[in-house]
């Protein structure tokens, strides 16, 4: 009975927020579900986070019967990671922007997951039925793989899940360590009608993508060889394996194959999400990377800032692949406990193979544009060396800004040095306050009026023997007056020709900044905790601290509305219904 009432409640809330322009819609929304306040210091306005407590990895994102689902690692009891108590939180959306938080989908209640329902993925089976495959942790800390399916396939909200009686379906054997066997990928169906799935592992100190196969999605057998491994990394967490098109901007279903298809293998290790691009032979299950993990100076990552344990899914409704990533806190754990929550998800991004075929490009999904308001535009403005100017007319603490720069004179660019192999170290040495020739130039974000606090996202251009090098940095060294926060500087090179243009987009949301350089070729996410540049006291500036002038070809900026976040009532309290 309670589940039926909740189902009716969720239907009502979807109808109301879908027509939020109707007078009184907000009041009707709040009469249905508990509205989640977002005025707390540091809490975001349009990034996904649960009402309280700890959240980490995104799990099992999918599109089912017109509704987007996001599951995530969740501690229902505290704002810290909880060994032995992690559940699968569950939220739903019709647009990937506004969310309703539901009851947990999976809780650690059975012998095969009694110490935690850890990360995993969702697979849409033939006929359109979803299944969750996840890692369970037994009482001995042995990691095993389990499956759960919806109790009611006619329920588009997937409120209840049933774990299979056959669990666990995969257990560590041979040389697989019992604590190095986790995070199954979305499964894909081969031409031989056999399912395949990758499990993250570490064997003899080498990061490994174990491959399993099944004819019925229940009985699984380990393949005689892994899909891939590396002797230059440790444990591969949260692996992902999916196809990308070489000649189209549309996404491809995870089981998709073809001559115009490459495959991406992503693994989380060394604290970051690394990926490689290559060719997958579906008949032999061999994967041939163009460049392997850690084998070149350009180590491909989804994001060069705070970003980990990501997960993609294929959105069949719009034929796109969407990427989620966990963005952890960068303050002290005691602060997380005090505020009662920890962890964000990045704003969902579309992910494509770049035109070069050598890397991926990412961009915030188009639905974000529905939050924009108070547009400000600027074209063809010169900024001489050593100058800044303020972007006014928007709420600088809750904004979306796109800017493209033209560099009139590249002849005098500083020369690169052979030892400049680590862009993050280079950004630390050549920070925003260290003047150069062409740059640093970019944005001062979440800045106080007197520039006591700011986060600088900027570029600097150098000249090599045969091409220019464009360095992108996110400098948090002056982001906060608080002493206990991490103020690391992040950096990466951007594969663009500065003789054409250099573009930057930043999503600003109180305590998170997501920046996209070169139209999404290089992404850097940072967490910042200003004490002065808060709310209306926050400012946004464009700056040029190089000696050469630069020109803003185009700048567009918007204030951002708050996304709507609601929480369904708990089992102990029946949901309220709309009164006629």
Instruction: List residues with catalytic annotation.
Output: 57
d(CA 400, CA 4): 40
Secondary structure (DSSP) of 486-529: ---EEEEEE---TTT-EEEEEEEESSEEEEEETTTTEEEEEE--
Dihedrals φ, ψ of 150, to 5°? -65, 140
Q: Are 543 and 442 in contact (CB under 8 A)?
A: yes
The set of residues, in sequence order, having a beta carbon less than 8 Å from that of 80 and lying 6+ positions away, is 54, 333, 336, 337, 342
Q: Are 121 and 311 in contact (CB under 8 A)?
A: yes
Query: CA end-to-end span of the chain, whole Å?
Result: 21
| H-state helical runs in 400-439 | 423-429
What's the helix, strand, coil split of the chain in %, to 5?
10, 45, 50
Contact 35, 334 (CB under 8 A): no
Name the maximum alpha-carbon separation found in the chain: 74
Closest CA to 64 of 93, 23, 31, 106: 93
Classify residue 128 as exposed, middle or buried by CB count within 10 Å of its CB (0-12, 13-18, 19+): exposed
Nearest to 519 by CA among 359, 318, 379: 359
């Amino acid at each position: 009975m309670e589940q039926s009432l909740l189902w009716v409640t969720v239907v009502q809330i979807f109808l109301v927020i879908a027509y939020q322009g109707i007078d009184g819609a907000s009041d009707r929304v709040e009469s249905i579900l508990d509205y989640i306040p977002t005025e707390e210091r540091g809490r975001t306005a349009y990034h996904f986070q649960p009402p309280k407590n700890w959240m980490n990895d995104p799990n099992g994102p999918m599109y089912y019967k017109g509704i987007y689902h996001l599951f995530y690692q969740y501690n229902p009891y505290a704002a810290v990671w909880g060994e032995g108590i992690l559940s699968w939180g569950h939220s739903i959306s019709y647009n990937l922007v506004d969310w309703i938080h539901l009851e947990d989908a999976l809780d650690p209640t059975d012998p095969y997951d009694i110490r935690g329902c850890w990360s995993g993925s969702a697979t849409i089976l033939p006929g359109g039925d979803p299944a969750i495959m996840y890692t369970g942790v037994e009482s001995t800390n042995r990691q095993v793989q389990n499956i759960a399916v919806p109790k009611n396939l006619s329920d588009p909200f997937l409120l209840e899940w049933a774990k299979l009686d056959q669990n666990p379906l995969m257990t560590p054997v041979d040389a697989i360590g019992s604590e190095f066997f986790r995070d199954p990928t979305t499964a894909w169906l081969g031409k031989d009608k056999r399912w395949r799935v990758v499990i993250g592992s570490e064997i003899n100190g080498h990061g490994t993508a174990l491959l399993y196969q099944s004819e019925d999605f229940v009985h699984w057998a380990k393949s005689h060889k892994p899909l891939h491994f590396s002797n230059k990394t440790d444990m591969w967490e949260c692996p992902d394996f999916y196809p990308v098109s070489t000649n189209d901007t549309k996404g491809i279903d995870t089981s998709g194959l073809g001559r115009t298809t490459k495959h991406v293998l992503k693994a989380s290790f060394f604290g970051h999400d690394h990926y490689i691009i290559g060719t997958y032979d579906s008949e032999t299950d061999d994967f041939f990377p163009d460049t392997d993990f850690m084998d070149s100076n350009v180590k491909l990552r989804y994001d060069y800032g705070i970003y980990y344990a990501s997960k993609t899914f294929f959105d069949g409704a719009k034929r796109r692949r969407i990427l989620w990533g966990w963005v952890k806190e960068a303050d002290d754990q005691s602060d997380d406990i005090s505020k009662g929550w920890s962890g964000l998800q990045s704003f969902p991004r579309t992910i494509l193979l770049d035109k070069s075929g050598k890397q991926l490009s990412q961009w915030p999904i188009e639905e974000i544009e529905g939050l924009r308001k108070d547009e400000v535009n600027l074209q063809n403005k010169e900024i001489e060396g050593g100058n800044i100017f303020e972007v006014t007319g928007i709420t600088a603490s809750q904004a979306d800004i796109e800017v493209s720069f033209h560099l009139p004179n590249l002849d005098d660019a500083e020369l690169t040095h052979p030892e400049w192999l680590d862009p993050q170290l280079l950004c630390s040495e050549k920070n925003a306050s260290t003047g150069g020739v062409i740059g640093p130039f970019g944005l001062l974000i979440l800045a106080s009026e007197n520039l006591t606090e700011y986060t600088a996202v900027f570029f600097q251009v150098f000249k090599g023997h045969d091409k220019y090098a464009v360095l992108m940095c996110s400098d948090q060294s002056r982001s906060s007056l608080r002493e206990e926060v991490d103020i690391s500087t992040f950096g990466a090179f951007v594969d663009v020709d500065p003789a054409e243009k250099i573009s930057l987009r930043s999503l600003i949301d109180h305590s998170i900044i997501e920046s996209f350089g070169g139209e999404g070729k290089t992404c850097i996410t940072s967490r910042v905790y200003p004490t002065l540049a808060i709310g209306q006291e926050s400012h946004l500036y464009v700056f040029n601290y190089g000696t050469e002038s630069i020109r803003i070809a185009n700048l567009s900026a918007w204030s951002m509305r708050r996304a709507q976040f609601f929480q369904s009532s708990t089992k102990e309290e029946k949901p309220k219904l709309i009164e006629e």
